[in-house]
């Protein structure tokens, strides 16, 4: 989003025009930003067979999926429904990696029938997989490297207490299961967390993977997950992607040389690709003065953007409507019957009732984690593509809230008439 002559715009389209056309609250995504992130990641790795697997859990709208597909990006799916959405978006099955956790074996069997790449994260399922498919279906194995990394405990998934992956201390057992069941392991996978700043963390994890790889002669790829840190505020520290690409490319080339042949290097960015493209536009309903703060109440809440409440995540907030006014300090809050504060003590250009506020970095884990709490409707989604805003998801209605509900009292009164026992 750019500010020119006191007006904010996305690809030259005034943001206030988007808000007026589609109404608020509304999620707006900038296609150009998504494409530039794809290109940055791809251009940063040289001399390796890089495959980008978009973590679709971050934002799974079909139009977004088709956009990234057209730019040569594959998919990382974590549920059978995500697999089905990926296929619906036109991804070939072999370009979808399925990495479930704590699902039934029936879900894995369904994924196998659809032809996607299976990634297994525990030994019990690995044994079932071997018994069932007798070496006829290849798979990958998710390893827990026991590396604590990430910006919040809830997104640190590679430590020893995590439910994700097979412990590196169990790899000798894994090797026995693979050999006894004749399992064809074609990939090794790990993911240690999100919002990782230091490229050395990725290199440390990669070295763990490279060491494990020597026991699997049929590998086709090494998947290092993702977790790249993006900027949430001005001058925020981010993962240095060019530096990571240079160091990792050299390390991976050396590994392939020692392994005896070239493998593919996979990453699974989600937030990195779409977070900065997203803006949640809201309208100011009320300005409330209290002894402790001045509250700005908007027509959205944790039902639309739960990250500040769930992760203590920071989202920059901009007053789109009054960009040249003096700045005041506000607490920006939602309209849900819970404490749903989007930002404390924020310096915003003077806010008036009816102003449009934009919550930034709202592309990842924002709409995809939204809900109907308080029976509120989820908002519309808009993609700005080639200088024009396009509606890519309609705003929900009351019919959407009640779809699937069964009214057992539609034709039967709840209170039955009393039957007289008198003669």
Q: Are 174 and 126 in contact, with CB atoms under 8 Å apart?
A: yes
Is position 350 annotated in a ligand binding site? no
Sequence-ordered alpha helix ranges (H) in 136-183: 171-181
Q: How far apart are CA 116 and CA 132, in angstroms?
A: 17
DSSP state of 373: G
Q: Are 142 and 120 in contact, with CB atoms under 8 Å apart?
A: yes
Q: How far apart are CA 95 and CA 69, in angstroms?
A: 10
The closest of 289, 305, 200, 306 to 248, measured between CA atoms, is 200
96-98 and 117-120 beta bridge pairing: parallel
Q: Are 38 and 31 in contact, with CB atoms under 8 Å apart?
A: no
Is position 2 annotated in a ligand binding site? no
Q: Number of H helices and number of E strands within the chain?
A: 12, 21
Is position 346 annotated in a ligand binding site? no
The secondary structure element, H or E, covering residue 93 is: none
- Tokens 């539609």 correspond to 410
Strand partners, 298: 284
Is position 227 annotated in a ligand binding site? yes
337 has catalytic annotation: yes
Is position 311 annotated in a ligand binding site? yes
Instruction: Please list, in sequence order, all residues whose beta carbon lies within 8 angstroms of the beta carbon of residue 231, skipping any fewer than 6 positions away.
Output: 238, 276, 361
- Tokens 């705003």 correspond to 395
What is the total residue count of the chain? 423
7-10 and 13-14 beta bridge pairing: antiparallel
Active-site residue identified among 139, 212, 256, 337? 337
Q: How far apart are CA 52 and CA 223, in angstroms?
A: 10
Show the beta-strand stretches assigned E in 197-355: 221-223, 264-267, 278-289, 294-298, 317-319, 327-333, 341-349
Show the beta-strand stretches assigned E in 84-215: 96-98, 117-120, 139-144, 166-167, 185-189
Binding residues: 227, 307, 311, 338, 365
Catalytic sites, residue numbers: 337
């Amino acid at each position: 989003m750019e500010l020119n002559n006191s007006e904010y715009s996305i690809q030259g389209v005034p943001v206030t025009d988007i808000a007026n056309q589609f109404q608020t609250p509304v999620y707006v995504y900038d296609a150009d930003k998504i494409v530039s992130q794809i290109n940055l990641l791809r251009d940063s790795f040289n001399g390796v067979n890089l495959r980008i697997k978009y973590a679709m859990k971050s934002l799974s709208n079909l139009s977004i999926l088709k956009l990234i597909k057209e730019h040569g990006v594959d998919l990382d799916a974590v549920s059978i429904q995500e697999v089905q959405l990926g296929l619906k978006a036109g991804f070939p099955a072999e370009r979808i990696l399925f990495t479930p956790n704590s699902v039934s074996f029936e879900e894995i069997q369904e994924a196998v029938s659809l032809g996607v790449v299976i990634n297994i994260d525990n030994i019990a399922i690995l044994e079932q997989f071997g018994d069932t498919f007798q070496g006829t279906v290849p798979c990958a194995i998710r390893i827990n490297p026991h590396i604590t990394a990430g910006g919040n405990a809830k997104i640190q998934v590679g430590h020893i207490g995590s439910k994700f992956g097979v412990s590196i201390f169990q790899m000798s057992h894994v090797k026995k299961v693979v050999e006894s069941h004749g399992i064809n392991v074609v990939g090794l996978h790990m993911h240690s967390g999100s919002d990782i700043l230091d490229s050395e963390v990725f290199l440390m994890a990669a070295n763990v993977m490279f060491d494990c790889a020597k026991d699997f002669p049929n590998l086709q790829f090494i998947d290092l997950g993702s977790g790249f840190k993006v900027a949430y505020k001005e001058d925020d520290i981010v993962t240095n992607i060019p530096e990571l690409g240079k160091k990792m490319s050299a390390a991976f080339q050396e590994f392939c040389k020692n392994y005896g042949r070239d493998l593919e290097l996979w990453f699974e960015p989600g937030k990195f690709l779409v977070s900065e493209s997203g803006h949640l536009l809201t309208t100011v309903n009320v300005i409330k003065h209290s002894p402790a703060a001045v509250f700005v109440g908007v027509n959205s809440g944790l039902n639309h953007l739960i990250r500040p409440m769930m992760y203590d995540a920071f989202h920059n907030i901009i007053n789109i409507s009054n960009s040249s006014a003096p700045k005041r300090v506000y607490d920006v809050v939602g309209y849900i019957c819970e404490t749903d504060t989007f930002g404390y003590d924020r310096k915003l250009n003077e806010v008036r009732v009816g102003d449009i506020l934009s919550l930034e970095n709202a592309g990842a884990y924002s709409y995809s984690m939204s809900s109907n709490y308080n029976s509120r409707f989820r908002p519309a989604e808009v993609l700005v593509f080639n200088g024009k805003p396009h509606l890519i998801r309609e705003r929900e209605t009351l019919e959407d809230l009640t779809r699937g509900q069964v009214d057992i009292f539609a034709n039967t009164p709840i209170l039955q008439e009393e039957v007289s026992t008198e003669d």
